[in-house]
């Protein structure tokens, strides 16, 4: 186990180097000059040169990459060309926002998928099972921004229950939990819909699988309460693939927020990358993609660990 974790952790920097190299090459191989975008067309040659020098853009490509990588190792992601702030400062602003949104989306996915998946598996071919199937099928088909617009239309415009833009901020916490949670509801549902569909389907099928096992019959024959049988014997086992999938999906959620951030004007990681791409803000693009990729990799490792932790049969 320890050796397996160590091996996986050693791979992380390797994959990150490949990822950063790819980002680097893509940004440099495509047209667009950050300095020109930043300073505009009418600047003097000297000013442009000075700026290029400042951001090492006058050096050869291998030099640029090695310089950047060297700084990253010591925790310095460089400075934004556009905003002139350190990339780490920007990250400190954006990452918590994205994490909150991702957590809200995942919370919604778990809240819906666990009861729905279990109920559908227990009552196969009943109305709840059909509801579950319909829900997952729709969840796979609807684009999250379309769902967001529908929810805004119904709950913000028609019913006027929920705010149209923004998500909760830490300051709102002083106004009570509800003021903080309220703005999260629509973005969370829109963002978590696909994950809900994936997780519900997974839990339903793994529940059905577990329910047909011999030990379920034994548990029932022992005269255990039906609720105990379902929760302790069935759900606990069915949760193993579920938890792993939830961890993997959580790793994805930071990266798929772009459209939701765009609709709700949320200053998250996605919109930062979007702006950086438009402005060719190389340090920001590289720094942010690195963090997003690292987040995804660690979520995957966490998924593997949870798998081994929950299922004693699995040994790495």
Partner 1 sequence: MSTASPSPAAPYRIPSSLALAARQFPRHRLALVGFVCLLAICLAAALAPWVAPYDPVQIKLGSKLKPPSWEHWLGTDHFGRDVFSRLIWGGRTSLSVGALVVAFAFTIGVPLGLASGYFGGRVDNLLMRLVDAFLTFPPLLLAVALVGLLGPDIQNVMLAIGLVQAPILARVVRGSTLAVREDVYVTAARALGARPTRIVLSHILRNVMSPIVVQLTVVFAAAVIAEASLSFLGFGTQPPQPSWGRDMSEARRFLADAPWMFMAPTGIIMLCVLSINFLGDGLRDALDPRAWRTRRRLADGEG
Nearer to partner 1, 172 or 275 (CB): 275
Q: Which of 56, 82, 155, 255 binds partner 1 (CB under 8 A)?
A: 255
Q: CA 215, CA 267: separation in Å to the nearest integer? A: 50
Q: Which of 25, 61, 138, 309 binds partner 1 (CB under 8 A)?
A: 138
Nearer to partner 1, 150 or 232 (CB): 150
Residue 9 in the binding site for partner 1 (CB under 8 A) = no
For residue 221 the two structure tokens come to: 């024959």
Q: Whole-number minimum distance, CB 137 to partner 1, in Å?
A: 7
Give the contacts of 76 (CB within 8 A, at least 6 positions apart): 86, 88
Q: Whole-number minimum distance, CB 27 to partner 1, in Å?
A: 6
Give the contacts of 164 (CB within 8 A, at least 6 positions apart): 152, 156, 157, 264
For tokens 């903080």, the residue is 180
Residue 25 in the binding site for partner 1 (CB under 8 A) = no
Binding-residue pattern over the window 273 to 292 for partner 1, x denoting contact by CB under 8 A: xx--xx-x----x---x--x
Q: Which of 31, 62, 75, 223 binds partner 1 (CB under 8 A)?
A: 31
Q: What's the angle, vertex CA 230, arms to CA 224 and CA 234, rounded to 5?
A: 115
Q: Which of 13, 70, 146, 176 binds partner 1 (CB under 8 A)?
A: 146
Residue 137 in the binding site for partner 1 (CB under 8 A) = yes
Q: CB of 97 within 8 A of CB of 187?
A: no
Q: CA 30, CA 292: separation in Å to the nearest integer? A: 21
Nearer to partner 1, 188 or 299 (CB): 299
Q: How far is CA 302 from CA 13, 29, 101, 117, 246, in A?
A: 16, 35, 20, 23, 10
Give the contacts of 198 (CB within 8 A, at least 6 positions apart): 136, 139, 140, 245, 249
- Residue 153 DSSP class: I
| Of the candidates 208, 221, 166, 189, the residue with the CA atom closest to the CA atom of residue 111 | 189
Specify the stretch interacting with partner 1 by CB under 8 A; choose among 28-36, 42-50, 201-209, 227-235. 28-36
Residue 305 CA neighbour count, 13 Å, CB half: 15
Residue ranges in 226-245 that form contacts with partner 1 under rule CB under 8 A: none
Q: Which of 37, 48, 69, 142 binds partner 1 (CB under 8 A)?
A: 142
Nearer to partner 1, 235 or 247 (CB): 247
Residues making contact with partner 1 (CB under 8 A) = 14-15, 18-19, 22, 26-27, 30-32, 137-138, 140-143, 145-147, 149-150, 152-153, 157, 252, 254-256, 258-259, 262-263, 270, 273-274, 277-278, 280, 285, 289, 292-293, 296-297
């Amino acid at each position: 186990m320890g050796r397996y974790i160590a091996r996986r952790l050693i791979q992380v920097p390797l994959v990150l180097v490949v990822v950063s190299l790819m980002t680097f090459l893509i940004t440099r191989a495509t047209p667009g000059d950050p300095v020109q975008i930043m300073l505009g067309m009418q600047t003097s040659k000297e000013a442009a040169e000075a700026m290029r020098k400042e951001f090492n853009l006058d050096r050869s490509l291998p030099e640029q990459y090695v310089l950047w990588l060297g700084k990253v190792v010591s925790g310095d992601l460089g400075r934004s060309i556009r905003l002139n702030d350190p990339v780490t400062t920007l990250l400190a602003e954006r990452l918590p926002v994205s994490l909150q949104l991702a957590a809200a989306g995942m919370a919604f996915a778990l809240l819906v998928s666990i009861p729905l998946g279990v109920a559908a598996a227990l009552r196969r071919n009943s109305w709840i099972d059909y509801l579950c199937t319909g829900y997952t099928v729709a969840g796979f088909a609807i684009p999250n921004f379309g769902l967001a617009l529908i929810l805004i239309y119904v709950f913000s415009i028609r019913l006027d229950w929920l705010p149209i833009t923004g998500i909760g901020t830490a300051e709102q916490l002083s106004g009570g939990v509800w003021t903080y949670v309220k703005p999260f509801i629509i973005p969370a549902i829109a963002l978590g819909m696909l994950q809900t569909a994936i997780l519900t389907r997974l839990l339903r099928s793994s529940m059905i699988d577990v329910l047909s096992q011999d030990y379920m019959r034994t548990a029932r024959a022992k005269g255990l309460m039906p609720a105990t049988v379902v929760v302790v014997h069935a759900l606990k086992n069915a949760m193993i693939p579920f938890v792993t999938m939830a961890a993997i999906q959580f790793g994805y959620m930071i990266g798929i927020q772009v459209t939701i951030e765009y609709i709700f004007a949320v200053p998250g990681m996605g919109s930062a990358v979007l702006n950086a791409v438009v402005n060719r803000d190389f340090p920001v693009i590289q720094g942010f993609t690195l963090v997003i990729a690292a987040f995804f990799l660690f979520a995957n490792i966490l998924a593997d660990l949870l798998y081994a932790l929950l299922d004693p049969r699995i040994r790495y």
